[in-house]
Structure 1
């Protein structure tokens, strides 16, 4: 009998052995998570080694910030306990990833303000203050939805937005924070006349033609991207053919030599969004990294390839 009593502890003794507080032990006991081995003659709780093991497990799970219902499922060992633990861990990992991303953006933003000349700090604080942390791409996507022709097919619109809207990096350099903040300011600024300027090609080709155009351009940009990554000089080839075919389909024309000459002239008169693409390239490429192509840089490369092609043919 004495050996049995030696294995039973009061709530204070259990707390001491586990390195916890009496309040913590009482809370988990009240929740039904700690098994009581017995009660004293005065009605006080007595715990055995099983309760100590259970308490250590609970505290380990709590260090992972798992909620109490998930802990209960794990320690009760039901058929779905392993799946419940995996699901809870996956959820918590996702939450931690978001928290780390927030901290990385705040750190880079602080460095950006700290390291700039004093005269620029107020302006940079205004830029950064307009951003969420981490920033949302919704204002950039909204800019393009206004800029693109109305009634574009959903899939064509989604493909263009995926290519045109740079995702904020998880671990940004201060220069990337500044570039994204400037993109945000650019795309949310009021426009003259109350709307974004529509490219001439939209008015000429109409909604259906514009949808064909942008679907074809995305294909051409994808073909050109490896050439840009390898810093190849612009030259006629598959990418240029796809580029010209996109415009030809929009204008219900054929890819002829005359069309290529007229296309080059028409493109030279189009409004440009060079500043947007310059900033997007900075967001996509950390300092010292390999330049990542954007639709803007791919378009520049293809326009030069078209110019060279026309020159050679002439």
Structure 2
């Protein structure tokens, strides 16, 4: 290309409909390569720079950072991948805005005392909310030496995912759930069920494997809205406890189990708040592990009365 066919930075800016400052900014960052220099050392660009400059501006209109624009232009990243990443980021920002909106609505129309408590609870939660504290709680709550795969499965089931478009009540439920799981005592041995304590003779891995099956069966009963009753779900629940401590499922064992479970500390508040968080505002409650456990305990108590 001859020198007369090259444009100065001002000519390129005029042809592209941008400012000289814009051209210089992208040129300085390596996004707009020069085609040459004048005898006085001034930058010169070819006509093809217009298309590249327009593409740069289009990508920047989508709020792509300059490094990502550079990778797209150099062919290092597929444009589809960059767009997918931006969509994820925008989705996260929208979720944060929805939670902020619901949190602000939560603070409207309440008493000064309620507002002070809600501000304290909301202030401890990130936006958008993270479930990391809930997962840590369960890893502390579960008995030690459980197989890692079993722990992961339990944590996945027990930790609720916050709704992307929450109501103010759901924001409050999550904030209270966060406060509950970060409170004192909940990870201490004296605050846990007897089955979690090694001196009780339980085999936790056997217990929790069986309880998973019992909870799944009880969840079917809950969805069907059947009252607690004798049957397969309760039998599997009792068998899980019996197998875990090397006992047989007898009437005497069921009576003893009913009494022992009644004496255990029970995290019913966790499950109540979880149900408030994940259930649709205008629909029936979504069954939780806690609701299934309550169903099973009620069926056991009714059978031993």
Provide the residue aligned with 2:120 in structure 1: 126
Counterpart in 2 of 1:22? 20
For 2:38 and 2:89, locate their aligned partners in 1 and report how far apart those are by CA, in whole Å.
Answer: 44
Specify the alignment match of 1:68 in structure 2. Answer: 66
CA distance in 2, matches of 1:159, 1:25: 54
Question: For residues 142 and 240 of structure 1, do their structure 2 counterparts lie closer, same or farther at Cα, with a shift above 3 Å needed?
Answer: same
Root mean square deviation, CA, Å = 3.2
Identify unmatched segments of 5+ residues in structure 1. none
| C-alpha contact (below 8 Å) 1:216/1:245 kept by paired residues | yes
How far the C-alpha of 1:133 sits from its partner, in A, is 2.0
Shift of the alpha carbon at 1:294?
Answer: 1.3
Partner deviation per Cα, 1:214-253 (whole Å, 9 max, x = no partner): 2221222122223323323333333223212211111212
> Which residue of 174, 179, 185 corresponds with 2:173?
179
Residues 1:273 and 2:267 aligned together:
yes
- How much has 1:98 moved relative to structure 2? 2.5
Aligned to 2:55: 57
Please state how far the C-alpha of 1:42 moved relative to its aligned partner: 6.0
Contact 1:179 1:283 in 2 (8 A): yes
Alignment check: 8 A CA contact 2:160 2:278 kept: yes
In structure 2, what is the Cα distance between the partners aligned to 1:107 and 1:35?
A: 45
In the other structure, the counterpart of 2:138 is 144
- Shift, 1:183, TM fit: 1.6
TM-score, scaled relative to structure 1: 0.82
Partner of 1:253: 247
Aligned length: 304
After superposition, the C-alpha distances for 1:73-95 in whole angstroms (9 at most, x for unaligned) are 4334xxxx385323323333332
Shift in Å, 1:254: 2.4
- What are the equivalent positions in structure 2 for 1:99-248 lying under 5 Å apart? 99-191=93-185, 197-203=191-197, 206=200, 209-248=203-242
